[in-house]
Homo-oligomer: A and B are copies of this chain.
Amino acid sequence: MTTRRTWTGRVFIGSSLDGFISRPDGNIDWLTDPAPGPRHASISSTQEVAGWDSFFPSVDHLVMGRGTYEKVLTFDDWPYTGKRVLVMSTTLNTDDARVTVTRDLDEAVEELAASDADQVYVDGGQVIQSFLRADLIDEISIGWAPVLIGSGLPLFGDLDHDVQLELVASNASGGMVHTTYRVHRSQPATGTPSRSSVNH
């Protein structure tokens, strides 16, 4: 019997307009250090996307791939203090006490359940794609950078079926178009009940 999922899977990511989250070598200069020059229109909106400063404090767990984890290790500071961090990797061996390594999706899902996860930040292209395919994503926030980079690591990938989305918010700033969607399910998916039904 499938265990009901009690947590919310959330994506919050920047992408080039052609759908890449990094260049082939992992570089995100196009996002963090955009070319100067374009004089982007200033656009206000009645439904602003919640920014990083409200998104990040709202999550309690992170799931990421080895690539994202190793990128973060190059930062001066560990950015996830106070969060439980799962790294999905079939090969990683580490004694880093700040993370829990899970070998596959089932193990990650078990770990999230055991850990009483509530708001789960799902990060990295491959991890996002595998969570989407398993219907474990509920919210997707994307910041579309105003650039085409032509190649790189794709944000999205193959799916077994369409994923219908409900537009929640959209606004633009500094040339970035921010959009937030909820995954729409025609009937509650296995494992995405409201909190009230969990409590029965």
Contacts and interface: CB of A to CB of B under 8 A. Distances in A.
Interface of A: 17-19, 30, 35, 37-47, 132, 142, 144, 146-151, 155-172, 175-177, 179, 181-182, 184, 186
Given A148-B132, A177-B170, A162 B35 contact: yes
A43 B40 contact: no
Contacts of A159: 148-151
A167 B38 contact: yes
Nearest to A30: B162
This chain's copy number in the assembly: 2
B177 A167 contact: yes
Contacts of A144: 179
Q: Output the residue of A47, A144, A159 with the most chain B CB within 10 A.
A: A144
A142 B156 CA distance: 18
Contacts of A169: 41, 43
Given A37-B186, A132-B148, A147-B165, 4 more contacts: A41-B167, A41-B170, A149-B162, A177-B177
Nearest to A169: B41
When A and B form their complex, which 5 residue pairs have the shortest distance between CB atoms, in order from nearest? A150-B159, A38-B166, A18-B156, A146-B165, A148-B163
A168 to B, nearest CB: 5
Contacts of A155: 18
A185 B42 CA distance: 20
A70 B46 CA distance: 41
Contacts of A35: 162, 164, 184, 186
Nearest to A35: B164
Q: Output the residue of A44, A132, A165 with the most chain B CB within 10 A.
A: A165
Contact of A44 (B38, B46, B157, B179): B46
B158 A40 contact: no
11 contacts: A17-B181, A19-B19, A37-B184, A38-B164, A41-B47, A43-B45, A43-B47, A146-B167, A148-B163, A150-B158, A150-B162
